[in-house]
């Protein structure tokens, strides 16, 4: 990550604008390693301002997959916190801006969940999930929604 992804200017800009970033060496931060149950690196966690984990990325990712994963993580965090407007907004950015990324079909799945949670409208859920069947038919997310169609 330090030699390929983190020197990328788009990654630098995105992280500096959207996060308070911190790096810890697992060799010297055993307490944090234990607290967050980390056993392999790289492991990148998204925490809220209380230090509670909401999303993690394990393993190396190049910048064109890393940024959509970070955006997806923000969407998931907002969804879990019940901020459905922000969740849907973040997830839509992943789908619209990075449609070829691995995060996109996952974002489409959780966008349906977010829209449903916000409206309690089943049509919103099925509409979002139908897009997975259309745009990402070979993804695991298509399997996850296949029961509904």
Partner 1 sequence: MIKNFVLGLLVLIVSVPTILFAEAKHMPSSISWEKSLEDAVAKAKDTGKPVLLDFFMIA
Residue 96 structure tokens: 């619209």
Residue 12 makes contact with partner 1 by CB under 8 A? yes
Output 17 or 100, the one with its CB closest to partner 1: 17
Residue 99 makes contact with partner 1 by CB under 8 A? no
DSSP structure class, residue 146: G
Least distance in angstroms from the C-beta of 98 to partner 1 = 18
Q: Select the residue interacting with partner 1 from 3, 4, 41, 118 (CB under 8 A).
A: 41
Residue 80 makes contact with partner 1 by CB under 8 A? no
Least distance in angstroms from the C-beta of 77 to partner 1 = 7
State how far the Cα of 81 lies from the Cα of 76, in Å rounded to an integer: 9
Site size toward partner 1 (CB under 8 A) is 40
Which residues fall within 8 angstroms of residue 75, CB to CB, at 6 or more apart?
Answer: 86, 87, 88, 89, 90, 91, 94, 107, 110, 111, 114
Residue 120 makes contact with partner 1 by CB under 8 A? no
DSSP structure class, residue 86: H
Q: Select the residue interacting with partner 1 from 3, 4, 16, 129 (CB under 8 A).
A: 16
Q: How many CB atoms lie within 10 A of CB 104?
A: 23
Residue 37 makes contact with partner 1 by CB under 8 A? no
Which residues fall within 8 angstroms of residue 18, CB to CB, at 6 or more apart?
Answer: 70, 74
Contact set with partner 1 (CB under 8 A): 1-2, 6-7, 9, 11-13, 15-16, 18-27, 29, 32-33, 36, 38, 41-51, 54, 70, 74, 77
């Amino acid at each position: 990550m330090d030699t390929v992804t983190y020197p990328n200017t788009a990654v630098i800009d995105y992280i500096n604008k959207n996060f308070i970033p911190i790096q810890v060496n697992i060799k010297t931060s055993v307490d944090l390693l234990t607290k967050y149950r980390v056993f392999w690196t790289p492991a990148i966690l998204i925490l809220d301002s209380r230090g509670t984990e909401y999303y993690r990325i394990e393993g190396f990712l190049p910048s064109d997959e890393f940024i959509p994963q970070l955006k997806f993580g923000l969407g998931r965090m907002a969804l879990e916190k019940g901020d459905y407007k922000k969740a849907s907004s973040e997830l839509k950015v992943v789908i619209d801006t990075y449609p070829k990324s691995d995060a996109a079909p996952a974002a489409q799945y959780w966008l349906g969940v977010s829209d449903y949670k916000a409206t309690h409208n089943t049509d919103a859920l099925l509409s979002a999930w139908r897009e997975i069947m259309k745009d990402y038919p070979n993804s695991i997310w298509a399997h996850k929604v296949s029961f509904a169609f």
